[in-house]
Amino acid sequence: MGKGDQKTRRGKIQVGSFGKVRPRKKATAVTAEQIAAGLAAKKAAPKKAAKKAAK
């Protein structure tokens, strides 16, 4: 059993497929606070850039 065997981890890595032997990594959940912080940072960034350009 090795690279050619679809039932083993090494075989799934070779072929590029996923399954019970090689599960996918789950995406991390984004909280509402993280979304709000990201939006606030985007809104604040252009104002800072405008002040630097004016000087």
**Tens place of pLDDT per residue across the chain (55 aa):** 688 888 899 999 999 999 888 888 887 777 888 888 887 777 776 655 556 666 6
* The total number of structural domains that make up the chain: 1
Domain assignment of residue 43, given as a range: 9-54
Asked if residue 4 is part of any domain, the answer here is no
Angstrom distance (rounded) from CA 4 to CA 17: 12
CB atoms within 10 A of CB 30: 9
Main-chain phi, psi angles of 34, to 5 degrees: -65, -40
Give a yes or no: residue 36 inside a domain. yes
pTM above 0.85, yes or no: no
DSSP letter at 5?
Answer: -
Distance CA(47)–CA(53), nearest Å, equals 10
- E-strand ranges in the chain read none
Amino acid at 53: A
